Each structure stands twice: as structure tokens, then as C-alpha cells.
Structure 1
Amino acid sequence: MSSLFPTYARWDLTLTEGKGAWVKDTNGKEYLDFISGIAVCSLGHQFEPVKNAVAAQLDKLWHVSNLFGIEQQEQAAALLTEHSFAEAVFFCNSGAEANEAAIKLARKHTGKGTIVTFHQSFHGRTFAAMAATGQEKVRTGFGEMLPSFEYLPYNHLDALDELEGDHYAAIMLEVIQGEGGVVPGSDEFLKKAGETCKRLGCLLIVDEVQTGIGRTGKLFAHEGKVTPDIVTSAKGLGNGFPVGAMLGSGELIPSFQPGSHGSTFGGNPLAMAAVQAVLKTILQPGFLETVKEKGAHFIRELKKETEELPSVLEIRGQGMMIGLEYDGPAAGVIAELRENGLLVLPAGENVIRLLPPINCTYEECRMAVSILKTVLEAHSKARI
């Protein structure tokens, strides 16, 4: 009997080692890992620059508390602000913590209470992040939620037009809803969200926990679409080392002064070593363009090889964040893909989610397409 709370519906599979886009289980079987720790190991397992940076920091300093200046924090924050809209960064340990910080900052800065989020969104499982999440199943059983959240249909411009009043602190959205089915926000919707924030005198929070740090072929997926006031980041930011970050515009700095927020472990030197190694890698000239091109190629190949299968309804996404919508429950297909050596995720009941390392090879993408085609064809024939 396990001594763990059974909070996860675990698969009957235990992984013991990994390298690049590949992992191995307790029986020595190898799998092509297109889950990447749910978009966390975006540069693959045991990525040498991150491994070496953390190893070097282990011999220097692990933790000192944010009472002290932490040079590695300043360096990591400078990389983020130099390459984004932001002028300040708060470091924490996870995406949920980053979203908690964003919610606090928005309410404190505006002096208002209500935050608008969207149906099928996912922002985390802490109390504020859970309340922000537009999925009833995530909130069920926990009693009264943190008040003053409103939920609108995603990608609906008219719903934004209907917002009225001076009580809104922020609109909070994902550029691509990950847990909600890999659903990209349209350019029109994202633009309208930004315009609505200006009209209401509130802030725009963009949750880039899953979409950020190169996943879509850009440092952040909102670039060129809308300018946020706050962005949250985690997952790929540390390539497996626990870290989160909230980035904000300069006008918000006076609202987060000493005593307003904190994190015991946030921004510790080990995490910051990992962050710097990740950012220095993906910010190399041409790297993100390659991710974008490879992702487009992957989607084209998936569409070409599955276009004649009636069970495949749609393939969508950006960069290396891809969803394949199936015409029934996807759990059985995902289990068979696992048996055939390809690890993928669900996103809702009917969507197969692909989150490969953003630096995986074209050959590894081709292998994934081949396995997907074989399994989906077999499922289609079995249903005739």
C-alpha cells in the first residue's frame, strides 16, 4: 500500500531515466517522450547546459533567503526583462504560485476586486488559482470559492463587449488553452481582450505557464498579438527544476513593495542557475525560429498522414504545443500509443495533447507521426 495521498490517477508505468526526448521504464523499455513532464522538460531530459549550470551552483550556494541580495536572481530577471515587455520580475516555485502573485498584484494595484477568466481555462490548484480556473470539476468539493471571479466563453468577442462597470481588476487568459483542449485564442479575441482592459481600466494578465519559454516558437506566445500588464511563467522556465515567475510592467512596481508578497524558496540560486541556462539557450539566434518551423512541419505531417481518418476531427496548435481532436474518448488511444512507445497526454476528454521537447529532431517528430498513424488507423478499422 502506498504512503502517498492518491491525488493522481497514475498510469501503471514508472520511469527510471531519460535523455533528450527519450525515457526508459523499470523494465528497460524505451519511450519517445512527447509529454516532457507536461511541457516542463522543454529542452529534453538531462539537457547538458542546465545540468552543468545547476551542478556548478551546487558547489557554491543553495539557499540564503530573500533577505539578501541574490546575484543570480538579478541576472535571470535581466534576461527576462531585456527580451519582453516587462520591467520587473517576481520569482516563486510554480505556475500556480505565479498566478497567485498576479491575482494579488492586480487587486492591490487597481484597488478593485473582480477578475474575469474563461470557461475551460486552467490556472492552478491553489485556492485563488482554482477559483480563477474556468472548470467546475476543479472547484468541486472545496466549498465556497474565493469571491469575485467571473467566467466568460473563450474566443467570444461579444462576451467581452458586454462587460461593463468600474469594479474589474483584471482579465486573465491563456493565449492557448492547454488543459482546456489545446485551443488557440484568435488574434481578434486577444486584441479585443486588450482593448477591453483599456476600456474598463483594468489589467491584462496572460498565463503563459504552459505556452511560454519557447513552446510556441516565441519566448512568449502573446508576442505580436497583445501587450499584457502581467505575464506568469513556470514549467519550461527551469527545464525540470521547480521555478515560477511573474513578470510585470514598470507601472506596477510601486504596488509590490516590501511586505506585500514573498516566497521562502522563490528565486534561490539553484533555480536561477537553471533559468539562466534555459534562457541563454532559447535566446540564441535562430533557435526559436527553428522551433516554429519544426512545429509547423510536425503539424503538416500529422494532418497529411491522418486526413483520411474520420476519427480525427482537427489538428491544431502552435510550435510544439499540438492538439489532435478525436471523435470519442481519447483515453484508449493514449494507452495504446503508450504501449507502442509514444507518451502523450489528454487535454479534456477527446483531445490528444503533444508536448515534445522543443529541441527534438525532425526524425523524432517523424517517428511520433508514424506511431500515431498506426494506432489511429487501427482504432478506425476496429470501429467499422
Structure 2
Amino acid sequence: MNKFTLATVALATFLTSFGPGVPGTTLKPDADNAGLKLPSGFGALVAAEGLGHARHLTVTPEGDLYVKVEGTRNKGNTIWYLQDSNGDGKIDKKTGFFKYDGTGIEVKGNYLYASSNTDVYRFKLNDKHQVIDTNKAEKIVTGLINRHQHEAKAFTLDNDGNLYVNIGAYSNSCQIKDRTKGSLGMQPCPILDSAGGIWQFKADKANQTYGDGERYATGLRNVVGLDWNTQLNQLFVMQHGRDQLHDLFPDMYDEKQSAELPAECMYALHKGSDCGWPYIYYDQFQHKKILAPEYGGDGKKTGGDHIQDPAAAYPGHMAPNAILFYTGTMFPEKYRNGAFIAFHGSWNRAPEPQKGYFVVFQPFRDGKPAGDWEIFAEGFAGPGEIKSPGQAQHRPCGLAQGPDGSLYVSDDVKGTVYRIIYNK
């Protein structure tokens, strides 16, 4: 090996010891790990803050971030483009554009995709994955139903040119009178014709409507977290389970049961999947699909023999807002191809304490959840017991993997973006 080759190898080794950014700048966690409690060997830093209601986020191959913001329609800037010019992990350049509320955002190929509450758009990117013209958004899907309940159009894309969009049910449990004590369920539930499932569209065809897409999966009340598993070539989603069992049917459920049921469920979907909403729910204690009280259930009767079983189940009402399959090499081997899940936190567990407000890790083996899930990052909400979600200082919402294998977590209370790293 000549001197030139040795020098080249040495330089390459030097450069790869740092994350994206300026060589020679070591990425260090904040002294307090950004207020988070993490497993041994991990650290965290605040990459950005003050972004507003930061929902989902995506990272470019260059290590830049796009963050989707909700609730700033009158002020503009519902997408932030963030750059770290000196490689210290802290965002020092911020550009805002786009004018529509919503939650979804993803870089795929040469495009940035983003959703409003009724549509999905895309922007053309240059060779550095920067938006070429922020005023030129191509509308890919239009006219999706929005009745101001579960309206966020979260989405993901596969590697075959398909776009998968959540269209949440504009109802809690498809009652004749929504969220009304004792009201029975509509049979069949008419909401499922246009909502309560995942719709598949082409990622490169403009102005598609319901008629251009197809219902890929049904019986899903609301999905805010979804990800395409490239190892399995399969769509995985996290469902928000139904609310208010005690409030609506107090003769069948006490307050504690209502706080804990039903499970928040992970589903491994295929074309034609039926996950059962509103007719059944999954009871994580009985490990059974239970007939919903609106449809003749009493908390014990099982139902839905033809309904797909969840891949995994988690405590009720913790609001899983993102799922990410980890494919990086920064974290230890145990995390490879497993799933991180961001639980936004509950609002309706009173008089029990609220739960969630953390990121968990779900191990996978042979393409399936294997073993118990574990809390990976907590402390977002701040110290003390949370009695109402308004007490939470931060609430995790979105997840993204950096090109160096670090994990980004967004917060939609104060608009903080956390970056979690592993120090070997």
C-alpha cells in the first residue's frame, strides 16, 4: 500500500468518525441528555427548538431535516427545512415554507412528500435533496375526507412507487350518535366506505382521488404512525384504540377498565387486511378480540373470527404517533431491524394517571415482534405524575433515522427536535 493510499484510508476513517457536517467536530450529547433518560451508552441533545407544533419529520441523505408543523396556517411555514452547517448536531439554519396544516412528511427519491388534512403533495428536490421551488407543490392526492376528527393524513411510501395514506374514522366507535351514552353502533358502519383504513395510491400520479386509489386495509380507527418495513417488504401501522368505554357503557365497564382498555395495537398489513374497528377491540389482558358494546358485547364476548390479529399490543390510550424500523449501524446490534414507537401520551385515563409520553423499542425476530417491548427514551413530559396532557412539557410525535444511524424525535408541544446517539 503506497503513501497516497494510506493517507486516503486515514482520511476516510477520520471523516466517518463524525456525523454529517464539518469534519473535526465531535457530536456530543447535552450535559443533561436533553432531559431524557436513556439506556446506558446512549446520549441525547436538543437539535432544534421553538418550531411550533412539530409533528412528523424526515432526514435527507445529507443529514438535513424537514419537519412538518401543525396549527400555523395563518402564519405560514408548516414545513421547516433545517440544516446543521458545522456538524455539532445543533441546527443553525432554518427555512420555512408550505401553508397547509397536517402531519405527514417524507423524502423519497428525488421528491419531498407532505400532507395536509385532505391532500398529499410533493416537491421536486435537487441533487442535495433541497426543494427546488418551494412555491411549486404538485398535488398527488386530493379530496380526502376531513370531518375534524382523526383528520391527520399520515402516510408512508414503499419502494415500488406506492403511497399509503391513513384516512382516520370521523367517529369514536361508529355510534348512531357519536360519543353518546348508550347509543348503539351503525350496522354496517357506513364510515368504512371512505375512512377508517389505509388507502393506496400511486406516488407519481397527480390529482388522484378515492376512485384512483384503492382501500388497502380497513377496520382501523385512526393510524398516525406507519412505516414500510423494507426487510419484510410490508406495511406496519399503529392504531389508536377507541375511547370512553365507561362513559358510554357504565354498566359494563368501570373507570379503571376504561382507562386501560382497549390495547393500542401494531398491525402487519397486507392488501385486504381487516383489523375490526368498530365491531371489535383487542383486550391485552384477556389476549382476545372482544365484541364492542355498541354491537352487542359485554366486555367478555369475543368476536371477529375473520378479523386479523394484531402483531403486538400495548397499554391503552397511549397514542402511538410514529413507528420506525431501525436499519442503522450506530446503535448496538439488538436494535437492528427492530421498531421504535413514539407514544404521544394519553388524555383519557382519569382518574388513573396519564401514561405514555415516551419512546419504546420493540424487538423483532424473523419478521415478527419477539419479546417484551421496553421503554427506550423517557422524560419528555417532565418530572412528576401527569394528571392531564396539558401538564406535559414535551410530547414525542415523530421519529426519523439519520444517515449516521442517530435517532431523531420531534415534540409537538414546544417544537423541540431531539437527536439520540450512541457512544461506543
Name the TM-score class by shorter chain. under 0.3
Larger Rg over CA atoms: 2
Q: Which has the higher contact order (CA 8 A, sep 6+)?
A: 1
Normalising by structure 1, what TM-score?
A: 0.27
Normalising by structure 2, what TM-score?
A: 0.25
Considering fraction of residues, name the structure with more strand.
2
